[in-house]
Each structure stands twice: as C-alpha cells, then as structure tokens.
Amino acid sequence: MLIAGLNHYTIRCSPSDLPELVEFYTQVLNLTVGERPSMPRPGFWLYSEGHPIVHLYAKLDRREWGPTGGVDHISFATRGLEESRARLRRTGRPFEELPLPGTPIHQIFVRDPTGLTVELTFDLDQEHNQDKTNG
C-alpha cells in the first residue's frame, strides 16, 4: 500500500487517544511516525514517502466530539489496490469497497479508532499504467 496524496489532515484528539490512533495509522495504513516541530500539546506527525500527511494533535482534555467530530471523512490518493486489500485483511480491520461506475476510481472505506471514515482512493488507470511501466 502506498498513500500517494494529501498535504495533511489534522485530527484533534485527547492525549489518551494518541496510542490507538498511532497504531491505526501505522499498522493499518502503513504510515510512519516522523519529526514534529515543538508544539504546546502532545501529538505525532505521520509520514508517507517523507511527507507529513496526518497530524495528530492532542488539544482536547477528553474526547468531546461525536464519533467523527464535524468531519465526514478524509481521503488519501492511494496506490497498490491488491496490497492494500491484503494489508487490511491482515490487520482484521473491516472495510468496504466501492468502485465508482463509469470511472477508473475504486474506493475502500475503513474507520479509524475514533470512528472517522478514511477513504482510500485508487485510480485504476494509473494502477494499470504503473503495472505496465514496472512490468
């Protein structure tokens, strides 16, 4: 699985949410914990290919929002559909797939530990072109 796009997204959480969130984003989505500037509250920056794309910022004393706060979902441009399916199956995390009819877009939806829906968006034309380049 390769998360290939999104500048970053910040998830507001409590300090007690951090371990479970870090585990989800590193184990399920294959991001890595990386350098984070000094900030007034604890958190993590999670990286893909050297770019910090998910920021966890523990600015809440306790989880005050509903299961997803005011956010419906976040979407990552992702490559490696088959590898992604296999990773999700290995982690045991439930997921749903939704190909968009008439388009090359294939989506996988998975929820993180706070209930936030994460969309993994695959461009199947790009996947096939990548396979031809590598094959």
Domains along the chain with CATH numbers: 2-134 (3.10.180.10)
Please tell me the distance from the alpha carbon of residue 60 to that of residue 33, in angstroms, as a whole number. 21
Please report the pLDDT score of residue 24 as a whole number.
95
- The whole-model pTM stands at 0.67
Please tell me the distance from the alpha carbon of residue 11 to that of residue 101, in angstroms, as a whole number. 31
Residues 6+ apart with CB under 8 A from 38: none
pLDDT (mean) for 20-47: 93
At 115, the pLDDT band (50, 70, 90 cuts) reads: confident
